[in-house]
Amino acid sequence: MSTTHELKAQVRERVGKGAARELRRNSMVPAVIYGDNKDPLTIAVPYKELSMLINAGGFSNTILEVEVDGTKHRVLPKDYQREPVRDFFTHVDFLRIGRNTRVTVEIPVHYINEDDCPGIRKGGVLNVVRHHLEVTCSANAIPEYFEIDLTGLGIEDVVHASRIALPEGVKLTVTDRDPTMCSIAPPTVSTAAGDAEEAPAADEVPVAGDEEAEEGGE
């Protein structure tokens, strides 16, 4: 289950580029809360707290309780923008969560027990196709991550999304195929050592003119 964090915000009295620039000068980030059949609420959130949440990872799957003038709004981050040159946050969109809200989210996938994977022990390479898996689920029951156990996998074995045991109410967004998650690729054989063995030693390589010099010496 995803963790709920609290974030304090203030109502934005004015909107527009000028008002947004003024907020950023005061270390605030313009934002909006929308959804759940309610009017959008324009707010501003502290830059430092927002930056810490985003940089901690998993921001898009983190449920927040945003407090505005004493009222708490349960939300899920849907998007945020950065200034392309100076790379600071310029705006955030929050989706208001209701009792029956379902969301589409990307859940991290962890690959575990590499030491118990025969294919890797024999020199095979773990080829990860997907580090995340997109699912739909209740906004109040977002999985924190999925795990794929590599135990027993041999070289050229392939793991598909159907191997993951999804919690009740969680469904893949892709329904027309079984997405590939990872495979154990055969080891890459380097020919560098063989080439080195076949190459003649430096003192065995003939130098142009050596034979003529020897003949002339006779």
Dist CA 53 CA 75 (whole Å)? 14
At residue 83, the pLDDT reads 86
At residue 202, the pLDDT reads 47
Q: Is the pLDDT of residue 86 over 70?
A: yes
Q: Would you say 96 and 157 are in contact if contact means Cβ atoms under 8 Å apart? A: no
Q: Is the pLDDT of residue 199 over 70?
A: no
At residue 56, the pLDDT reads 87
Q: Which residues pair with 148 in a beta bridge?
A: 111
Taking only the tens place, the pLDDT of each residue in 1-16 is 556 789 999 998 877 7
Q: Is the pLDDT of residue 84 over 90?
A: no
Superfamily in which the 103-191 domain is placed by CATH? Ribosomal protein L25, C-terminal domain (2.170.120.20)
At residue 123, the pLDDT reads 94
Positions of CATH 2.170.120.20 in the chain:
103-191
Q: Is the pLDDT of residue 23 over 90?
A: no
In the chain, the amino acid numbered 218 is E
Closest by CA to 179, choosing from 163, 195, 202, 168, is 163
Question: May I ask the CATH architecture of the domain 4-97?
Answer: Beta Barrel (2.40)
- The mean predicted confidence, pLDDT, of the chain is 86
